[in-house]
C-alpha cells in the first residue's frame, strides 16, 4: 500500500544524506562568528550608554520659551561639523516586555551632543509626539519611526534604530555618529549594576501601572522601580514631556552613582557594568569606531551636562502630534548644527531647571 | 548533556531527517546548519528542555515549515517547481520509476503535510508526538496525514 511505498521511498533515499564532518565544522565556524558579533555589540552598547549617561546631568534647561531666532538661522547652510569636530549620539529607550514583544515604540529619544571644544556634553530630548515625515509612513509621530522600521510581530531593534536615525538626521540636519537602543530589561539591569539610582522629583508621581507612589524629593530606586517611573506619563501634568524630564533626572542620578562608585575610572567596575545590560541594549557603531567614541570621555573638560528640549509648538488641530515650534525650533536646530549651543545657552540662562 | 555530546549523537539523524523533509542534500545541509547554529548559541536553554532531542527536532521542523523565516528558504524558492519525472510510465511493474514518482510527488505537497508524513513514516512517531513537534492538535495531525495520503493516491490513479 501507499504507506509501505512511502517507508520504502524514505529508506531508499537515506544514502542521499551527506557526511556530517564538513557540516559540523561549518556550524562551529558560523556560531563562533555570530557569538563574537553579539559580544562586541553588547559591550559596545554599554560603553555608549555610559557616554550617553554623561550627556545628562544636574542643570536642566528647557527651551520651550526660548528667545527670538537669529536672523541667519534659516539660511540654507548645512553647517555640519567636521568629522573630527562635534559628535552626536542617538539614544533610544523602547517599550515592550519579555524576550520577544510583538511590537516596539521608541518613547524616549535623546540626542547627546558633544561639541568640538569638548567643553561639556549636551542632552537634547526629542519629544516622542513630535510631528515628522517618516520614509514610507508619511507624516506621523517620531516614536512610530521605530515601530515602522522594526516591524511586527518580531521587531528588529537594529531596523527600528536605523529608520529613527534617518528621521532624526533629516529633522536636525546633523550627522548621527553612533547610537544605542535600551529596552526596559537593559534599563533594569544597568540600575541594578550600580546598586540603585537616586532620583530627585519636584512633585509626587503616581504610577498608572503599579499604583506605586514616588514622593516628591530624593529617593533611591531599584531596577524595577526605575522602569516603573520612566514609564509614567498619564498622571503627569505635561504628559510625555514631563516623562522626558524624569528620564533626565534618572540619568542624572545614574551619573552620580557611577561617579561615586568610581565606575568610570575603574576598569573592573566598568567591565562589570559593560556586561550588565546584556541583550537589553544594542548599538550602532558602524559610523564611528567604538574605540574613538570611548576615547572622547577623558577629553571632556567636565562631565556635567546641559539638558535641553527641542522647542515644540501647540498640538496640531485635533491630532495629538506636536509640531516643531515654527520660530524657536529652527533657531535651536541651527545652533545645534553650527555647534554653538554654549552661546545659545548663555543667551537663555533663565531656562535652567535644576533636577535635584 | 553537553553540546558536543548532543552533536556526536544527533547530528547524523537530524541530517537524515532534513534530507527526508527537503528531498535535497544541499537544502538539508543548509537547514541543519541554520538550526544547529542557533542550538549552539542557545545551548543552555536547549539543554534545559525535557528532551533536547525533541526540542531541536521541533526547531528544525518549524524552520522548514515556516518558509517566511530563515534565509535558507530563498534558495529553495529560486529553484521553483520540482523537476518532472523524466520517463512517466503507466506500467506499474516498473517499480523503480514508481518509487521515484512517489519521491517527486512528495515535493509537491505543502511543507506541513510533507513534514507530517516524514514524522509518521520515517521517524515513526506516534500522532501525539507529531502534534507536539508541529505545535498543533492530534486531530490536525490525523487530518493532515489523511489529506496527504489522499493527494498521493490521486497521483497514483492519474499515473
Contact A17 B7 (CB under 8 A): no
Q: Which helix (H) or strand (E) holds A160?
A: helix A157-172
Residue B73: the pLDDT is 42
Considering only CB atoms, which chain B residues are within 8 Å of A9? Answer: 99, 102-103, 106
Q: Is B156 left (phi over 0), alpha (psi -120 to 50) or beta?
A: alpha
- Strands A197-201 and A217-221 come out as antiparallel
Residue A338: the pLDDT is 93
pLDDT confidence tier of residue B61, bands split at 50, 70 and 90: very high
Options 1.10.1060, 3.40.50, 1.20.1070, 1.10.1740; CATH for B1-80 is: 1.10.1740
Residue A67: the pLDDT is 33
Was domain B82-159 assigned CATH 1.10.10.10? yes
Query: Residue A203 class from Cβ within 10 Å (0-12 exposed, 13-18 middle, 19+ buried)?
Result: exposed
For the entire predicted model, the pTM comes to 0.53
Q: Hey, what's the cell of A321?
A: 502630534
C-beta separation of A207 from A232 below 8 A: yes
Q: Which residue of A has its CA nearest to B38?
A: A31
10-residue block means of pLDDT along chain A (356 residues)? 88 90 90 73 53 40 30 30 66 74 79 85 86 88 88 79 91 85 80 86 89 93 91 83 83 74 60 56 53 60 76 76 88 92 82 57
Give the ipTM: 0.80
Q: Hey, what's the cell of A82?
A: 567636521
C-beta separation of A330 from A69 below 8 A: yes
User: Which position has the higher pLDDT, B98 or A203?
Assistant: A203
| Three-state SS at A320 | coil
Looking at chain B, the domain(s) classified CATH 1.10.10.10 span 82-159
Considering only CB atoms, which chain A residues are within 8 Å of B118? Answer: 10
Residue A258: the pLDDT is 73
Of A9, A20, A34, the CB nearest to B99: A9
Looking at chain B, the domain(s) classified CATH 1.10.1740 span 1-80
Residue B6: the pLDDT is 94
Query: In CATH, what number does A42-73+81-194+265-351 get?
Result: 3.30.420.590
Contact B98 A2 (CB under 8 A): no
Domain edges within chain A: 42-73+81-194+265-351
Contact A17 B37 (CB under 8 A): no
Amino acid at each position: 500500500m501507499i504507506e509501505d511505498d512511502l517507508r520504502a521511498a524514505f529508506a531508499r533515499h537515506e544514502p542521499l544524506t551527506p557526511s556530517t564532518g564538513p557540516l559540523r565544522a561549518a556550524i562551529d565556524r558560523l556560531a563562533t562568528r555570530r557569538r563574537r558579533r553579539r559580544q562586541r555589540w553588547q559591550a559596545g552598547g554599554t560603553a555608549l550608554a555610559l557616554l550617553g549617561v554623561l550627556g545628562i546631568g544636574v542643570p536642566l534647561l528647557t527651551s520651550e520659551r526660548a528667545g527670538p531666532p537669529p536672523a541667519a538661522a534659516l539660511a540654507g547652510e548645512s553647517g555640519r561639523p567636521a568629522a573630527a569636530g562635534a559628535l552626536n549620539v542617538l539614544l533610544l529607550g523602547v517599550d515592550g516586555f519579555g524576550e520577544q514583544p510583538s511590537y516596539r515604540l521608541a518613547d524616549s529619544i535623546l540626542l547627546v551632543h558633544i561639541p568640538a571644544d569638548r567643553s561639556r556634553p549636551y542632552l537634547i530630548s526629542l519629544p516622542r509626539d513630535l510631528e515628522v515625515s517618516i520614509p514610507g509612513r508619511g507624516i506621523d509621530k517620531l516614536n512610530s519611526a521605530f515601530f515602522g522600521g522594526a516591524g511586527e510581530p518580531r521587531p528588529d531593534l537594529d531596523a527600528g534604530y536605523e529608520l529613527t536615525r534617518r528621521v532624526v538626521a533629516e529633522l536636525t540636519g546633523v550627522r548621527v555618529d553612533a547610537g544605542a537602543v535600551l529596552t526596559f530589561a537593559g534599563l533594569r539591569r544597568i540600575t541594578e549594576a550600580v546598586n540603585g539610582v537616586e532620583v530627585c522629583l519636584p512633585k509626587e508621581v503616581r504610577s498608572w501601572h503599579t499604583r506605586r507612589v514616588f514622593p516628591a524629593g530624593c529617593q533611591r530606586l531599584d531596577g524595577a522601580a526605575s522602569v516603573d517611573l520612566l514609564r509614567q506619563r498619564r498622571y503627569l501634568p505635561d504628559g510625555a514631556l514631563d516623562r522626558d524630564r524624569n528620564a533626565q533626572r534618572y540619568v542624572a542620578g545614574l551619573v552620580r552613582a557611577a561617579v561615586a562608585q568610581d565606575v568610570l575610572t575603574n576598569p573592573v567596575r566598568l567591565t562589570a557594568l559593560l556586561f550588565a545590560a546584556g541583550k537589553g541594549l544594542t548599538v550602532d557603531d558602524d559610523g564611528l569606531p567604538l574605540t574613538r567614541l570611548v576615547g572622547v570621555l577623558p577629553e571632556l573638560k567636565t562631565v556635567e551636562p546641559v539638558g535641553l528640549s527641542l522647542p515644540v509648538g501647540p498640538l496640531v488641530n485635533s491630532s495629538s502630534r506636536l509640531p516643531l515650534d515654527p520660530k524657536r525650533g529652527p533657531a535651536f536646530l541651527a545652533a545645534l548644527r553650527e555647534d554653538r549651543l554654549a552661546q545659545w545657552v548663555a543667551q537663555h540662562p533663565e531656562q535652567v531647571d535644576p533636577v535635584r | 548533556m553537553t553540546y558536543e555530546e548532543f552533536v556526536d549523537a544527533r547530528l547524523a539523524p537530524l541530517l537524515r531527517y532534513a534530507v527526508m523533509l527537503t528531498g535535497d542534500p544541499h537544502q538539508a545541509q543548509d537547514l541543519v546548519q541554520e538550526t544547529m547554529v542557533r542550538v549552539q548559541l542557545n545551548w543552555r536553554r536547549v539543554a534545559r528542555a525535557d528532551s533536547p532531542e525533541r526540542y531541536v527536532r521541533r526547531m528544525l521542523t518549524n524552520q522548514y515549515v515556516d518558509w517566511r523565516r530563515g534565509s535558507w528558504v530563498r534558495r529553495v524558492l529560486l529553484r521553483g517547481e520540482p523537476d518532472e519525472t523524466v520517463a512517466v510510465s503507466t506500467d506499474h511493474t516498473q517499480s523503480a520509476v514508481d518509487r521515484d514518482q512517489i519521491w517527486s510527488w512528495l515535493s509537491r505537497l505543502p511543507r506541513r503535510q510533507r513534514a507530517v508524513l516524514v514524522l509518521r513514516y520515517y521517524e515513526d512517531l506516534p500522532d501525539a508526538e507529531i502534534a507536539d513537534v508541529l505545535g498543533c492538535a492530534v486531530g490536525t495531525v490525523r487530518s493532515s496525514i489523511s489529506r496527504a495520503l489522499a493527494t498521493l493516491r490521486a497521483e497514483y490513479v492519474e499515473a
